[in-house]
Structure 1
Protein backbone atom coordinates (compact mmCIF):
# COMPACT_ATOMS: atom_id res chain seq x y z
CA UNK A 1 0.00 0.00 0.00
CA UNK A 2 2.87 2.39 0.85
CA UNK A 3 4.59 1.66 -2.47
CA UNK A 4 1.34 2.25 -4.38
CA UNK A 5 0.81 5.55 -2.54
CA UNK A 6 4.35 6.67 -3.34
CA UNK A 7 3.96 5.73 -7.00
CA UNK A 8 0.65 7.57 -7.20
CA UNK A 9 2.16 10.66 -5.57
CA UNK A 10 5.04 10.58 -8.05
CA UNK A 11 2.64 10.21 -10.95
CA UNK A 12 0.51 13.13 -9.82
CA UNK A 13 3.62 15.26 -9.36
CA UNK A 14 5.25 14.54 -12.70
CA UNK A 15 2.61 13.99 -15.38
CA UNK A 16 2.23 16.97 -17.67
CA UNK A 17 -1.17 18.56 -18.29
CA UNK A 18 -3.27 17.89 -21.37
CA UNK A 19 -1.97 14.37 -21.98
CA UNK A 20 -4.51 13.01 -24.41
CA UNK A 21 -4.40 15.93 -26.83
CA UNK A 22 -6.14 16.09 -30.17
CA UNK A 23 -6.27 13.16 -32.54
CA UNK A 24 -2.90 12.61 -34.18
CA UNK A 25 -1.02 14.65 -31.57
CA UNK A 26 2.26 13.31 -30.23
CA UNK A 27 2.71 14.72 -26.72
CA UNK A 28 5.82 13.92 -24.72
CA UNK A 29 4.34 12.57 -21.50
CA UNK A 30 6.61 12.97 -18.50
CA UNK A 31 5.79 10.06 -16.20
CA UNK A 32 8.03 7.98 -13.95
CA UNK A 33 9.90 5.54 -16.18
CA UNK A 34 9.47 7.53 -19.42
CA UNK A 35 13.26 7.75 -19.61
CA UNK A 36 13.79 4.41 -17.86
CA UNK A 37 16.92 2.36 -18.39
CA UNK A 38 17.28 -1.40 -18.11
CA UNK A 39 16.22 -2.63 -14.68
CA UNK A 40 14.13 0.39 -13.77
CA UNK A 41 10.42 0.07 -13.10
CA UNK A 42 7.92 1.36 -15.62
CA UNK A 43 4.99 3.43 -14.33
CA UNK A 44 1.60 1.92 -13.63
CA UNK A 45 -0.22 1.81 -16.96
CA UNK A 46 -3.77 2.11 -15.64
CA UNK A 47 -3.03 5.30 -13.72
CA UNK A 48 -1.61 6.81 -16.90
CA UNK A 49 -4.55 5.45 -18.92
CA UNK A 50 -6.95 7.34 -16.65
CA UNK A 51 -4.99 10.55 -17.06
CA UNK A 52 -4.69 10.18 -20.83
CA UNK A 53 -8.21 9.04 -21.71
CA UNK A 54 -9.83 11.80 -19.65
CA UNK A 55 -7.19 14.44 -20.47
CA UNK A 56 -6.99 14.87 -16.71
CA UNK A 57 -5.39 18.19 -15.66
CA UNK A 58 -3.70 16.99 -12.52
CA UNK A 59 -2.94 20.35 -10.93
CA UNK A 60 -6.56 21.46 -11.12
CA UNK A 61 -7.71 17.98 -10.12
CA UNK A 62 -5.58 18.11 -6.95
CA UNK A 63 -6.76 21.61 -6.10
CA UNK A 64 -10.34 20.33 -6.38
CA UNK A 65 -9.51 17.75 -3.71
CA UNK A 66 -8.91 14.85 -6.10
CA UNK A 67 -6.66 11.86 -5.49
CA UNK A 68 -5.88 9.05 -7.92
CA UNK A 69 -5.17 5.44 -6.95
CA UNK A 70 -5.21 2.01 -8.58
CA UNK A 71 -6.75 -1.16 -7.18
CA UNK A 72 -5.30 -4.26 -8.90
CA UNK A 73 -7.28 -7.50 -8.93
CA UNK A 74 -5.82 -11.00 -9.01
CA UNK A 75 -9.19 -12.70 -9.56
CA UNK A 76 -10.88 -12.17 -12.93
CA UNK A 77 -14.42 -12.63 -11.64
CA UNK A 78 -13.87 -10.04 -8.93
CA UNK A 79 -12.36 -7.66 -11.47
CA UNK A 80 -15.31 -8.10 -13.83
CA UNK A 81 -17.66 -7.19 -10.97
CA UNK A 82 -15.57 -4.17 -9.99
CA UNK A 83 -16.35 -0.58 -10.94
CA UNK A 84 -13.98 2.39 -10.96
CA UNK A 85 -14.85 4.94 -8.30
CA UNK A 86 -15.23 8.64 -8.95
CA UNK A 87 -14.51 9.95 -5.43
CA UNK A 88 -11.83 9.22 -4.50
CA UNK A 89 -10.85 8.52 -8.10
CA UNK A 90 -9.93 4.83 -8.13
CA UNK A 91 -9.17 2.76 -11.24
CA UNK A 92 -9.21 -1.03 -11.18
CA UNK A 93 -6.91 -3.33 -13.14
CA UNK A 94 -6.38 -6.96 -14.07
CA UNK A 95 -3.19 -8.38 -15.61
CA UNK A 96 -2.90 -11.60 -17.59
CA UNK A 97 0.36 -13.52 -17.91
CA UNK A 98 2.09 -15.77 -20.42
CA UNK A 99 4.87 -18.04 -19.15
CA UNK A 100 5.22 -15.84 -16.08
CA UNK A 101 5.51 -12.62 -18.10
CA UNK A 102 2.92 -9.88 -17.67
CA UNK A 103 1.29 -9.72 -21.10
CA UNK A 104 -1.95 -7.76 -21.12
CA UNK A 105 -3.57 -5.33 -18.71
CA UNK A 106 -7.21 -4.32 -18.53
CA UNK A 107 -7.95 -0.95 -16.97
CA UNK A 108 -11.30 0.37 -15.75
CA UNK A 109 -11.38 4.16 -15.45
CA UNK A 110 -13.80 7.06 -15.37
CA UNK A 111 -14.86 9.20 -18.32
CA UNK A 112 -13.95 12.87 -18.66
CA UNK A 113 -17.57 14.02 -18.43
CA UNK A 114 -18.05 12.29 -15.08
CA UNK A 115 -14.85 13.82 -13.75
CA UNK A 116 -15.88 17.32 -14.77
CA UNK A 117 -19.32 16.88 -13.22
CA UNK A 118 -17.81 15.96 -9.85
CA UNK A 119 -14.58 17.98 -9.76
CA UNK A 120 -15.29 20.94 -12.03
CA UNK A 121 -15.31 21.82 -15.71
CA UNK A 122 -11.57 22.52 -15.93
CA UNK A 123 -10.20 19.27 -14.53
CA UNK A 124 -10.58 17.20 -17.72
CA UNK A 125 -10.74 17.71 -21.46
CA UNK A 126 -11.85 15.79 -24.52
CA UNK A 127 -12.10 12.01 -24.22
CA UNK A 128 -8.96 10.29 -25.48
CA UNK A 129 -8.30 6.78 -26.78
CA UNK A 130 -6.77 3.58 -25.50
CA UNK A 131 -4.56 3.52 -28.60
CA UNK A 132 -2.85 6.67 -27.32
CA UNK A 133 -2.00 4.83 -24.11
CA UNK A 134 -0.38 2.02 -26.12
CA UNK A 135 1.52 4.63 -28.14
CA UNK A 136 3.11 6.09 -25.02
CA UNK A 137 3.94 2.59 -23.74
CA UNK A 138 5.74 1.95 -27.03
CA UNK A 139 7.71 5.18 -26.61
CA UNK A 140 8.67 4.31 -23.05
CA UNK A 141 9.85 0.85 -24.06
CA UNK A 142 11.85 2.26 -26.98
CA UNK A 143 13.56 4.74 -24.65
CA UNK A 144 14.44 1.99 -22.18
CA UNK A 145 16.37 -0.12 -24.70
CA UNK A 146 20.11 -0.52 -24.39
CA UNK A 147 22.37 -0.11 -27.40
CA UNK A 148 22.74 -3.89 -27.66
CA UNK A 149 18.98 -4.35 -27.55
CA UNK A 150 18.45 -1.73 -30.25
CA UNK A 151 20.78 -3.64 -32.56
CA UNK A 152 18.89 -6.87 -31.83
CA UNK A 153 15.39 -5.50 -32.56
CA UNK A 154 13.19 -7.57 -34.85
CA UNK A 155 10.59 -4.80 -35.01
CA UNK A 156 11.72 -1.17 -35.08
CA UNK A 157 9.51 0.97 -32.80
CA UNK A 158 9.15 3.69 -35.43
CA UNK A 159 7.59 1.18 -37.83
CA UNK A 160 5.06 -0.24 -35.37
CA UNK A 161 1.45 0.63 -36.26
CA UNK A 162 -0.92 1.74 -33.49
CA UNK A 163 -4.33 0.49 -34.57
CA UNK A 164 -7.48 2.46 -33.68
CA UNK A 165 -9.43 1.22 -30.69
CA UNK A 166 -11.70 -1.76 -31.19
CA UNK A 167 -14.89 -0.57 -29.45
CA UNK A 168 -16.96 -2.86 -27.26
CA UNK A 169 -20.69 -2.53 -26.79
CA UNK A 170 -20.91 -4.48 -23.53
CA UNK A 171 -18.73 -5.41 -20.59
CA UNK A 172 -18.93 -9.07 -21.58
CA UNK A 173 -17.53 -8.22 -25.01
CA UNK A 174 -14.81 -6.06 -23.50
CA UNK A 175 -13.41 -8.80 -21.22
CA UNK A 176 -13.35 -11.39 -24.03
CA UNK A 177 -9.97 -12.56 -25.36
CA UNK A 178 -8.19 -9.94 -27.44
CA UNK A 179 -4.72 -9.92 -29.05
CA UNK A 180 -2.06 -7.55 -27.72
CA UNK A 181 0.13 -7.60 -30.83
CA UNK A 182 -0.44 -8.71 -34.43
CA UNK A 183 2.00 -9.22 -37.31
CA UNK A 184 0.38 -8.47 -40.67
CA UNK A 185 1.19 -10.27 -43.97
CA UNK A 186 3.75 -7.58 -44.82
CA UNK A 187 5.62 -8.28 -41.58
CA UNK A 188 4.54 -5.04 -39.90
CA UNK A 189 3.80 -5.18 -36.18
CA UNK A 190 0.44 -3.76 -35.07
CA UNK A 191 -0.59 -2.90 -31.52
CA UNK A 192 -4.38 -3.15 -31.17
CA UNK A 193 -6.36 -1.85 -28.20
CA UNK A 194 -9.88 -2.50 -27.02
CA UNK A 195 -12.17 0.04 -25.39
CA UNK A 196 -15.51 0.36 -23.66
CA UNK A 197 -16.64 3.97 -23.40
CA UNK A 198 -19.94 4.85 -21.73
CA UNK A 199 -20.56 8.62 -21.42
CA UNK A 200 -22.31 9.89 -18.33
CA UNK A 201 -25.38 10.93 -20.34
CA UNK A 202 -25.96 7.46 -21.84
CA UNK A 203 -29.71 6.76 -21.54
CA UNK A 204 -31.46 3.54 -20.60
CA UNK A 205 -28.79 1.96 -18.38
CA UNK A 206 -28.25 1.90 -14.59
CA UNK A 207 -26.33 4.84 -13.12
CA UNK A 208 -23.56 2.52 -11.92
CA UNK A 209 -22.65 1.71 -15.54
CA UNK A 210 -22.38 5.33 -16.70
CA UNK A 211 -19.29 7.52 -16.93
CA UNK A 212 -16.81 4.73 -17.65
CA UNK A 213 -13.86 4.34 -20.00
CA UNK A 214 -12.17 0.94 -20.08
CA UNK A 215 -9.00 -0.07 -21.97
CA UNK A 216 -7.33 -3.38 -22.88
CA UNK A 217 -3.60 -2.76 -23.38
CA UNK A 218 -0.23 -4.41 -23.89
CA UNK A 219 2.26 -4.32 -21.00
CA UNK A 220 5.72 -2.79 -21.23
CA UNK A 221 7.38 -6.11 -20.44
CA UNK A 222 5.61 -8.09 -23.13
CA UNK A 223 5.96 -5.39 -25.77
CA UNK A 224 9.71 -5.32 -25.23
CA UNK A 225 9.95 -9.08 -25.75
CA UNK A 226 7.85 -8.84 -28.91
CA UNK A 227 10.09 -6.10 -30.32
CA UNK A 228 13.15 -8.24 -29.60
CA UNK A 229 11.61 -11.33 -31.18
CA UNK A 230 11.70 -13.28 -27.91
CA UNK A 231 7.94 -13.92 -28.20
CA UNK A 232 5.87 -14.10 -31.36
CA UNK A 233 2.90 -11.76 -31.93
Structure 2
Protein backbone atom coordinates (compact mmCIF):
# COMPACT_ATOMS: atom_id res chain seq x y z
CA UNK A 1 0.00 0.00 0.00
CA UNK A 2 2.86 2.36 0.84
CA UNK A 3 4.99 1.43 -2.16
CA UNK A 4 3.65 4.17 -4.52
CA UNK A 5 4.17 6.82 -1.84
CA UNK A 6 7.73 5.61 -1.19
CA UNK A 7 8.54 5.63 -4.89
CA UNK A 8 7.14 9.15 -5.28
CA UNK A 9 9.17 10.47 -2.36
CA UNK A 10 12.31 8.79 -3.69
CA UNK A 11 11.81 10.31 -7.17
CA UNK A 12 11.22 13.80 -5.77
CA UNK A 13 14.22 13.48 -3.49
CA UNK A 14 16.49 12.12 -6.21
CA UNK A 15 15.52 14.95 -8.54
CA UNK A 16 17.32 17.34 -6.20
CA UNK A 17 20.70 15.62 -6.33
CA UNK A 18 22.28 17.75 -9.04
CA UNK A 19 23.86 21.15 -8.62
CA UNK A 20 20.88 23.49 -8.45
CA UNK A 21 20.10 27.13 -7.87
CA UNK A 22 17.32 27.41 -5.33
CA UNK A 23 15.29 30.49 -6.09
CA UNK A 24 13.34 32.64 -3.68
CA UNK A 25 9.98 31.28 -2.47
CA UNK A 26 6.76 33.13 -3.24
CA UNK A 27 6.14 36.13 -1.01
CA UNK A 28 4.14 35.34 2.09
CA UNK A 29 1.86 37.60 4.10
CA UNK A 30 3.96 36.94 7.19
CA UNK A 31 7.75 36.95 6.65
CA UNK A 32 8.07 33.97 8.95
CA UNK A 33 5.74 31.96 6.68
CA UNK A 34 8.34 32.07 3.91
CA UNK A 35 10.77 30.14 6.09
CA UNK A 36 8.20 27.44 6.78
CA UNK A 37 7.18 27.27 3.12
CA UNK A 38 10.76 26.90 1.94
CA UNK A 39 11.40 24.16 4.47
CA UNK A 40 8.15 22.24 4.09
CA UNK A 41 7.62 22.25 0.33
CA UNK A 42 11.17 21.58 -0.84
CA UNK A 43 12.21 17.98 -1.30
CA UNK A 44 15.79 19.06 -0.99
CA UNK A 45 16.94 18.11 2.46
CA UNK A 46 20.02 20.32 2.76
CA UNK A 47 18.06 23.45 2.00
CA UNK A 48 15.78 22.59 4.89
CA UNK A 49 18.79 21.87 7.09
CA UNK A 50 20.32 25.27 6.30
CA UNK A 51 17.07 27.09 7.02
CA UNK A 52 16.46 25.21 10.26
CA UNK A 53 20.03 25.01 11.61
CA UNK A 54 20.69 28.74 11.09
CA UNK A 55 17.08 29.86 11.55
CA UNK A 56 17.43 31.58 8.19
CA UNK A 57 14.81 34.32 7.65
CA UNK A 58 14.18 33.59 3.99
CA UNK A 59 12.40 36.79 2.96
CA UNK A 60 15.13 38.99 4.47
CA UNK A 61 17.85 36.82 2.95
CA UNK A 62 16.42 37.10 -0.58
CA UNK A 63 15.62 40.82 -0.23
CA UNK A 64 19.26 41.39 0.72
CA UNK A 65 20.46 39.77 -2.48
CA UNK A 66 20.94 36.25 -1.16
CA UNK A 67 20.98 33.18 -3.38
CA UNK A 68 20.92 29.63 -2.09
CA UNK A 69 22.78 27.01 -4.09
CA UNK A 70 23.47 23.35 -3.51
CA UNK A 71 26.24 21.09 -4.83
CA UNK A 72 26.13 17.30 -4.69
CA UNK A 73 29.31 15.26 -4.30
CA UNK A 74 29.42 11.70 -5.69
CA UNK A 75 31.97 10.28 -3.25
CA UNK A 76 32.89 10.75 0.38
CA UNK A 77 36.47 11.82 -0.27
CA UNK A 78 35.56 14.78 -2.47
CA UNK A 79 32.73 15.72 -0.13
CA UNK A 80 35.07 15.64 2.87
CA UNK A 81 37.32 18.16 1.14
CA UNK A 82 34.43 20.47 0.21
CA UNK A 83 33.49 23.61 2.11
CA UNK A 84 30.20 25.52 2.00
CA UNK A 85 30.53 29.04 0.64
CA UNK A 86 28.93 32.17 2.06
CA UNK A 87 28.35 34.27 -1.09
CA UNK A 88 26.43 33.00 -2.88
CA UNK A 89 25.32 30.79 -0.01
CA UNK A 90 26.36 27.39 -1.37
CA UNK A 91 25.70 24.15 0.49
CA UNK A 92 27.40 20.83 -0.23
CA UNK A 93 25.95 17.40 0.34
CA UNK A 94 26.72 13.71 0.09
CA UNK A 95 24.13 10.92 -0.01
CA UNK A 96 24.37 7.28 0.95
CA UNK A 97 21.89 4.68 -0.32
CA UNK A 98 20.18 1.57 0.94
CA UNK A 99 20.91 -0.27 -2.31
CA UNK A 100 24.02 -0.76 -4.43
CA UNK A 101 22.28 0.76 -7.45
CA UNK A 102 21.80 4.11 -5.77
CA UNK A 103 18.03 4.29 -6.18
CA UNK A 104 16.97 4.34 -2.52
CA UNK A 105 18.42 7.34 -0.65
CA UNK A 106 19.24 6.55 2.96
CA UNK A 107 21.16 9.34 4.65
CA UNK A 108 22.31 12.82 3.68
CA UNK A 109 25.23 14.76 5.08
CA UNK A 110 24.81 18.52 4.58
CA UNK A 111 27.46 21.20 4.97
CA UNK A 112 25.98 24.63 5.59
CA UNK A 113 26.83 27.97 7.13
CA UNK A 114 26.24 29.22 10.66
CA UNK A 115 23.84 32.03 11.56
CA UNK A 116 26.61 34.36 12.72
CA UNK A 117 28.45 34.06 9.39
CA UNK A 118 25.24 34.67 7.42
CA UNK A 119 24.53 37.77 9.50
CA UNK A 120 28.09 39.05 9.04
CA UNK A 121 27.67 39.00 5.25
CA UNK A 122 23.96 39.65 4.67
CA UNK A 123 23.17 41.88 7.65
CA UNK A 124 21.97 41.48 11.21
CA UNK A 125 18.86 39.38 11.81
CA UNK A 126 19.09 37.63 8.46
CA UNK A 127 19.49 34.45 10.49
CA UNK A 128 19.57 33.24 14.06
CA UNK A 129 19.49 32.34 16.76
CA UNK A 130 21.44 29.20 15.89
CA UNK A 131 19.11 26.24 15.48
CA UNK A 132 19.54 22.47 15.32
CA UNK A 133 19.75 19.67 12.80
CA UNK A 134 17.04 17.84 14.74
CA UNK A 135 14.61 20.55 13.61
CA UNK A 136 15.17 19.47 9.99
CA UNK A 137 14.44 15.86 10.94
CA UNK A 138 11.27 16.99 12.72
CA UNK A 139 10.01 18.73 9.57
CA UNK A 140 10.82 15.69 7.44
CA UNK A 141 8.82 13.50 9.82
CA UNK A 142 5.86 15.87 9.59
CA UNK A 143 6.01 15.95 5.79
CA UNK A 144 6.15 12.17 5.54
CA UNK A 145 3.18 11.87 7.90
CA UNK A 146 1.18 14.40 5.86
CA UNK A 147 1.87 12.47 2.65
CA UNK A 148 -0.06 9.43 3.92
CA UNK A 149 -3.74 8.62 3.80
CA UNK A 150 -5.50 7.64 7.06
CA UNK A 151 -5.42 4.00 5.94
CA UNK A 152 -1.68 4.18 5.24
CA UNK A 153 -1.03 5.74 8.63
CA UNK A 154 -2.92 2.91 10.33
CA UNK A 155 -0.72 0.37 8.56
CA UNK A 156 2.54 1.88 9.86
CA UNK A 157 4.68 -0.11 12.27
CA UNK A 158 5.74 3.12 13.99
CA UNK A 159 3.26 5.98 14.31
CA UNK A 160 4.82 9.40 13.55
CA UNK A 161 3.44 10.91 16.77
CA UNK A 162 5.30 8.26 18.77
CA UNK A 163 8.69 8.78 17.12
CA UNK A 164 11.30 10.30 19.43
CA UNK A 165 13.33 13.16 17.92
CA UNK A 166 16.73 12.88 19.57
CA UNK A 167 18.83 15.95 20.26
CA UNK A 168 21.80 16.46 17.95
CA UNK A 169 24.86 14.33 18.59
CA UNK A 170 27.52 17.02 18.45
CA UNK A 171 30.77 16.10 16.73
CA UNK A 172 34.00 17.80 17.79
CA UNK A 173 35.85 17.38 14.49
CA UNK A 174 35.07 16.97 10.81
CA UNK A 175 36.42 13.44 10.85
CA UNK A 176 34.13 12.55 13.74
CA UNK A 177 31.13 14.05 11.95
CA UNK A 178 31.90 12.11 8.74
CA UNK A 179 32.04 8.77 10.59
CA UNK A 180 29.20 6.24 10.34
CA UNK A 181 26.07 7.40 12.12
CA UNK A 182 22.70 5.60 12.51
CA UNK A 183 19.67 6.90 10.65
CA UNK A 184 17.39 5.51 13.35
CA UNK A 185 17.40 3.38 16.49
CA UNK A 186 14.79 1.53 18.54
CA UNK A 187 14.78 1.69 22.35
CA UNK A 188 13.85 -1.01 24.88
CA UNK A 189 10.22 0.15 24.81
CA UNK A 190 10.06 -0.40 21.06
CA UNK A 191 9.96 3.31 20.18
CA UNK A 192 11.65 4.54 17.03
CA UNK A 193 14.25 7.26 17.59
CA UNK A 194 15.32 9.66 14.84
CA UNK A 195 18.86 10.91 15.60
CA UNK A 196 20.90 13.63 13.93
CA UNK A 197 24.57 14.48 13.97
CA UNK A 198 25.92 18.03 13.87
CA UNK A 199 29.17 19.96 13.70
CA UNK A 200 28.92 23.63 14.66
CA UNK A 201 31.89 26.00 14.38
CA UNK A 202 31.06 29.66 15.17
CA UNK A 203 32.58 32.41 13.07
CA UNK A 204 34.65 33.75 15.96
CA UNK A 205 36.30 30.41 16.80
CA UNK A 206 39.98 31.17 17.51
CA UNK A 207 43.04 29.24 16.40
CA UNK A 208 41.69 27.64 13.20
CA UNK A 209 41.92 28.62 9.50
CA UNK A 210 39.28 31.04 8.23
CA UNK A 211 37.91 28.41 5.83
CA UNK A 212 36.84 26.25 8.78
CA UNK A 213 34.90 28.99 10.58
CA UNK A 214 31.19 29.75 10.40
CA UNK A 215 30.01 26.22 9.64
CA UNK A 216 26.99 24.17 10.68
CA UNK A 217 26.87 20.62 9.35
CA UNK A 218 24.00 18.11 9.65
CA UNK A 219 23.55 14.37 9.12
CA UNK A 220 19.91 13.50 8.38
CA UNK A 221 17.65 10.66 7.27
CA UNK A 222 16.31 10.83 3.70
CA UNK A 223 12.49 11.21 3.55
CA UNK A 224 11.84 8.01 1.58
CA UNK A 225 14.13 6.08 3.95
CA UNK A 226 12.21 7.41 6.94
CA UNK A 227 8.94 6.29 5.39
CA UNK A 228 10.35 2.79 4.87
CA UNK A 229 11.43 2.74 8.51
CA UNK A 230 7.98 3.85 9.71
CA UNK A 231 6.26 1.23 7.56
CA UNK A 232 8.49 -1.59 8.79
CA UNK A 233 9.77 -2.30 5.26
CA UNK A 234 13.29 -2.03 6.70
CA UNK A 235 14.64 -2.26 10.23
CA UNK A 236 16.94 0.26 11.96
Q: What interval of TM-score do these two structures reach, taking the shorter chain for normalisation?
A: 0.7 to 0.9
Q: SS of the residue aligned with 2:145?
A: helix
1:176 aligns with 2:149: no
Contact 2:68 2:90 in 1 (8 A): yes
Match of 1:214 among 189, 214, 217: 217
**C-alpha displacement at 1:18, in angstroms?**
4.8
**Separation in structure 2 between the aligned mates of residue 33 and residue 211 of structure 1, nearest angstrom:** 25
Distance change (3 Å), C-alpha of 1:3 and 1:168: closer
Q: Using a 3 Å threshold, how does the CA distance of structure 1 residues 47 and 94 change in structure 2: closer, same or farther?
A: same
Who is 1:81 aligned against? 81
Contact 2:39 2:139 in 1 (8 A): no
In structure 2, relative to structure 1, the CA distance for the partners of 1:89 and 1:17 (3 Å cut) is: same
Instruction: Report deviation, 1:47.
Output: 0.7
Partner of 1:4: 20
Asked whether 1:138 is paired with 2:152, we answer no
1:17–1:74 Cα change, 3 Å = farther
Listed as ranges, the gaps of 5+ residues in structure 2 are 1-15
After superposition, the C-alpha distances for 1:131-162 in whole angstroms (9 at most, x for unaligned) are 11100000000000123321210000000000
The equivalent residue for 1:123 is 126
TM-score by length of 1: 0.86
TM-superposed CA distance for 1:13, in Å, is 3.1
- Summarize deviations over 1:50-85 as a string: whole Å, max 9, x none: 111111111111121110011011111110000000
Q: Displacement of 1:165 after TM fit?
A: 0.3
- More moved, 59-68 vs 145-154: 145-154
Please report how far the alpha carbon of residue 32 of structure 1 lies from its aligned counterpart in structure 2 after TM superposition. 7.2
Distance in 2 (CA, whole Å) between partners of 1:88 and 1:118 is: 10
CA contact (8 A) 1:31 1:43 kept: no
Q: Deviations over 1:109-139 (max 9, x none)?
A: 0000000001100211200000111000000
Partner secondary structure for residue 134 of structure 2: helix
- The answer to whether the 8 Å contact 2:201/2:215 transfers is yes
Look up the match of 1:29.
36
Q: Following TM superposition, where does structure 1 have runs of at least 4 consecutive aligned residues deviating by more than 6 angstroms?
A: none
**CA deviation after TM superposition for structure 1 residue 3, in Å:** 8.9
Say whether residues 1:104 and 2:107 are aligned partners: yes
Structure 1: segments with no counterpart, 5+ residues = 20-27, 35-41
TM-score where L is the length of structure 2: 0.85
In 1: Cα distance, 2:39 partner to 2:207 partner? 40
1:52 maps to: 52
CA deviations over 1:27-48 (Å, ceiling 9, x no partner): x9324764xxxxxxx6101011
